[in-house]
């Protein structure tokens, strides 16, 4: 920006020896401000948006237990989790995204037909992106028809709609229907498995690797109950319009009626999904989800000894999660979590908040005890752009970190004029 020397600084009084003593302080202040304006450290903050200095805690003492990462809220409950007869399990609140409790959450396990959660997710994505439609017909290949394991009983070289094939995958757990849809989306099942792994990486499923679309056993076809819970949360949150498939109790195709293997659909009216799985090596598995009073919970059970055991364990876990925990709305995404001081801007403050509404799950009755602790870049130097990430807000209870959310600038702040910026630069020297 070209600099215009302000004549009122030097020329509003004649420059004579008699009055120079009056002009000298004004000249000194001006030259000091000019030097500050030329400072590379401060000017770069003006031209790149939010300042790049290290984040500083504005409310936050160190969190007890934070060094160990985010705590499972179940650790703070007075009622312990039920004793479950399963190799690994986990329960997660979908509204907050928090894991309530888990056993062996990161142990590598075979997903069996729980694999079909990812297969269906990719089909839903293809439908939403107009690459497939529900009434589109798919040709059943010899490979799909010959796939071993549970079946929809489609005939080779027949034409079946995507809608019917989804019911075959989700209600009947048909491996033949799953391969047919995989081929419709990606051309071949190996290509579809590559898409499954790409999506797993995008969702942050760090311990998951898919070899096929069906869940048939393979030494490298593995996941964890943590990853399955994250995938399930993403599925119900992003594709709620397809949840009706998961609550369908039976489906008849080719004059063969098969029941949904999720027995909770008959015993609990709040349960509306999601998927069963079973192989001899994986044991009996079930990802279940229920919606009660606007709150959704997902439970994951793997390695149970029988169909009845996985059903009983899942119901115990769902009931414990609903009965002993609350999920409360802490911040609305239109309201600031914190109001921050802005320097060198046309506004002196700006609101910082989350991109979405912030929910937190706590032991029942403890919602009022949650402490939000904000950390954000200081100083905040204008110009600031709406949506710029500048820090985090941590939510703790009893000294335990429950969750951490990003803080974003909620409104644009334009930079102030030249002298306004100089004034704030000088003030910052004394902060």
Catalytic residues: 113, 116, 173
Among residues 393, 424, 244, 240, which one has the least CA distance to residue 331?
A: 393
% helix, strand, coil for the chain, step of 5? 35, 25, 40
Q: What SS3 class is residue 72?
A: coil
Give the max Cα distance, the chain: 111
Q: Residue 237: which of 354, 70, 124, 89 has the closest Cα? A: 124
Contact 132, 125 (CB under 8 A): no
> What are phi and psi for residue 286, nearest 5 degrees?
-155, 125
Q: Of the candidates 276, 162, 279, which has an alpha carbon nearest to the alpha carbon of residue 228?
A: 276
- Would you call 91 exposed, middle or buried from its count of C-beta atoms within 10 A (0-12, 13-18, 19+)? buried
Angle, CA 416 vertex, CA 411 and CA 422 arms, to 5°: 135
Residue 120, CB-side half-sphere exposure with 13 Å CA sphere: 33
DSSP string covering 138-206: EE--HHHHH--SS---PPTT-EEEHHHHHHHHHTS--HHHHHHHHHHHHSSHHHHHHHHHHHHHHTT-T
**C-alpha span between 144 and 155 (Å, rounded):** 9
Q: Which residues are bridge partners to 392 per DSSP?
A: 375, 406
Reading across the β-sheet that carries 389-397, which strands appear in turn? Answer: 55-57, 371-377, 389-397, 400-409, 349-353, 338-343, 380-381
Strand, helix or coil for residue 327: strand
CB 212, CB 143: distance < 8 Å: no
């Amino acid at each position: 920006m070209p600099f215009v020397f302000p004549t009122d600084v030097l020329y509003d009084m004649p420059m004579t020896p008699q009055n120079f003593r009056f002009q000298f302080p004004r000249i000194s202040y001006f030259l000091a401000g000019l030097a500050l304006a030329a400072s590379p450290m401060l000017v770069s903050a003006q031209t790149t948006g939010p300042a790049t200095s290290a984040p500083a805690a504005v409310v936050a003492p160190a969190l007890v237990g934070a060094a160990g990462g985010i705590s499972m809220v179940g650790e703070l409950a007075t009622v312990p989790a039920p004793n479950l007869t399963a190799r690994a399990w986990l329960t997660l609140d979908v509204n907050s995204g928090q894991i309530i409790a888990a056993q062996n959450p990161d142990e590598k396990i075979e997903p069996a037909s729980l694999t079909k959660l990812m297969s269906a997710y990719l089909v839903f994505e293809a439908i939403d992106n107009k690459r497939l439609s529900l009434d589109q017909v798919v040709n059943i290949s010899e490979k799909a028809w010959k796939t071993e394991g549970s079946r929809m009983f489609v005939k080779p070289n027949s034409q079946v709609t995507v809608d019917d094939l989804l019911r075959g995958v989700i209600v009947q757990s048909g491996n033949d229907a799953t391969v047919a849809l995989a081929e419709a989306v990606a051309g071949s099942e190996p290509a579809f498995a590559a898409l499954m792994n790409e999506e797993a990486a995008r969702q942050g499923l760090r311990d998951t690797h898919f070899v096929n679309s069906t869940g048939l056993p393979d030494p490298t076809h593995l996941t964890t109950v943590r990853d399955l819970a994250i995938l399930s949360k993403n599925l119900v949150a992003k594709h709620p319009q397809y949840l009706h498939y998961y609550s369908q109790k039976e489906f008849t195709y080719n004059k063969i009626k098969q029941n949904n293997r999720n027995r909770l659909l008959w015993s609990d009216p709040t349960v509306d999904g999601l998927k069963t799985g079973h192989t001899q090596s994986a044991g009996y598995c079930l990802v279940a989800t229920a919606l009660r009073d606007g709150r959704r919970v997902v439970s994951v059970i793997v390695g149970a000894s029988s169909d009845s055991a996985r059903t009983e364990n899942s119901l115990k876990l769902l009931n414990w999660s609903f009965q002993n925990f609350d999920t409360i709305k802490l911040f609305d995404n239109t309201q600031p979590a914190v109001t921050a001081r802005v320097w060198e801007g046309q506004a002196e403050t700006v609101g910082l908040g989350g991109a979405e509404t912030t929910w937190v799950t706590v032991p029942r009755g403890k919602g009022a005890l949650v402490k939000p602790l904000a950390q954000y870049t200081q100083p905040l130097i204008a110009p600031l752009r709406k949506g710029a990430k500048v820090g985090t807000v941590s939510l703790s209870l009893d000294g335990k970190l429950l969750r951490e959310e990003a803080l974003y600038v909620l409104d644009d702040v334009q930079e102030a004029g030249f002298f306004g910026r100089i004034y704030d630069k000088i003030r910052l020297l004394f902060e």
